[in-house]
Structure 1
Amino acid sequence: MKNQIVASIAAIPFALGAVFAGTGAANAQIIQFDDVDVTGGILSYDGEGGALFGTDLLLDTVFGVDTPENSSSHLFCEDCKLNFETGANISEDPYTFAAGGLVTIEGTVKDGDTVIASGTFLEGYFGENIVGSATEFMPNIGAAVFTGLGVDTMDAAISNYFGVDATEFNFAQTSIAIGEVNVEANGGFSGSVTNVDMDNVPTAATPEPATLFGLGVVATGLVASRRKKSS
C-alpha cells in the first residue's frame, strides 16, 4: 500500500572546508549553479532495482565563489535543467546506487543579453556509489540522506568568464530538498524538488578526489524501509 506524505524538507549543505585540505579552502575556486528564483523537478527511484533519477531540476543562476574573475557575479541561466541518473540500485538497507550514470545541465547561460553558452553545457557522471541512510522520527515521517560525488566537463566559455583555467571539474550537488514525497510499499519513492545547488571545483584544485563532498538529498518520509514495512 502506498504511503503518501506531504511535507517540506530542510536541505542539508555539505561542508566544503574538508574538501580542500592542503589546498586552502579560502582560495578554492567554485562555479555554482543554483535555483534562486525557480522551483521544479522530480527525484525518484522505482523500487525495482533501477537508478536514482533527478528529472528536470530547474536552475536559473550561475556564479563564481573565490574565482579569479567575476567572483560573486551572477549569470542568468535561462530554461536551465539539471538531469541525472545514477547506476542501478544495489541495496535498499541502506539505499545504495552504483556509480556511473549521467549528469547533465542544459539551457542558455547569459550575461545580460549576451549568450555565454547554450545547449548541453555540462556533462558528467558519478565516480563512486551513492549511499543513503534513513531515520524515522515518528510514523511515516523522517529523513533520508544520500551522498555521492562525481566529475564533469563544462563549456569553456563559462569557466573562462570566471577566469578559471579549466574545463574538467569535480562536482557536488550540495543540497536537494524535496516535498510532497510518495513512498511506495516496494521501497520506491518520488518527490517534487524545491531546492537544488551544484558546486564545481577545478579538478587540479583537489589532489584527493575521493575526499570530495557529496550529493546531498534530504527527503521527509523516505523512511519506509523494508524492515519497517515488514513489521
Structure 2
Amino acid sequence: MEQVFIKALPVLNTLIEVGHQAYFVGGAVRDSYMKRAIGDVDIATDAAPNEVERLFKRTVDVGKEHGTIIVLWEDETYEVTTFRTESDYQDYRRPSEVHFITSLEEDLKRRDLTINAMAMKTDGELIDYFGGRQDIDHQLIRTVGKPEDRFQEDALRMLRAIRFMSQLGFALSEETAAAIERSRSLLRYVSVERKTVEFEKLLQGKSCSSALRMMVKTGLFEELPGFSDKKEHLLYAS
C-alpha cells in the first residue's frame, strides 16, 4: 500500500473502531491499481456527517447536506463522504434529493465510470463490483450500468469519459460512444465553466488526438461554445 494511503489509515481506523464501514474510493484507488501518481485520497463511510464531525476534532463542512465533510488529520485533508443514493436530477447535473445509506455497493453504483467505482480496504484489498480492474486491463472507458442513465443524471459525464480517454490513453467502449452520440444535446445544460475545465484537461492528455476525433465522431464538440463550426479544425488538430 502506498504511503499516501498509509498516512490516511488513522482516519479509516477511527471510523471502523466505533463500528462503521470506511474505505478508500475514487481516483486514488484507480491510480494505485494503474501504478500512477496518486492525487487526493477520498474516503467513503456509512457514518452520517454529524457522526464524522463528532469523531474528529478538526473538520470543515463543505457539503453536509450531500454527505461530505473535510477531515483535517495531521498536515493532510481528506474528503469523507457518507454512502448515498441520488435521485430526481435537475438540469441533467445536480440531484435534488440525496439519501444516506449503509451499502458500499449501492454508493459505488451511482458513480460515472467503472474505473472510478472501485474501493479499497485498510489492508489494501480491492473491492470491484463493476469490472473496473478488467476495464483498466483492457484499457477501456465504460460507464457503470447503462450509459444513458449515467448521462441523464449528469450530462458532464459524457465529456469526462472522453477526457479520461485522453488522459489515460484508453478507448471508449462502443456502447458508451453510441450513448454519447444519442445524448450529446444534454451537455448544453451544463455550465460553460464546468465544460471548459474538462475540455482543458482533455487537451493536456497524452491521447488528445484520439479524444478530439471521438469528440467529432460523437458530435459532442457541437455542444461546446464556439466549436459548432470547428469540425475541420478539430480534425486537423488531431
TM-score by length of 2: 0.24
**For the pair shown, which has the larger CA radius of gyration, 1 or 2?**
2
Structure with the greater relative contact order (CA < 8 A, sep ≥ 6): 1 or 2?
1
More strand by share: 1
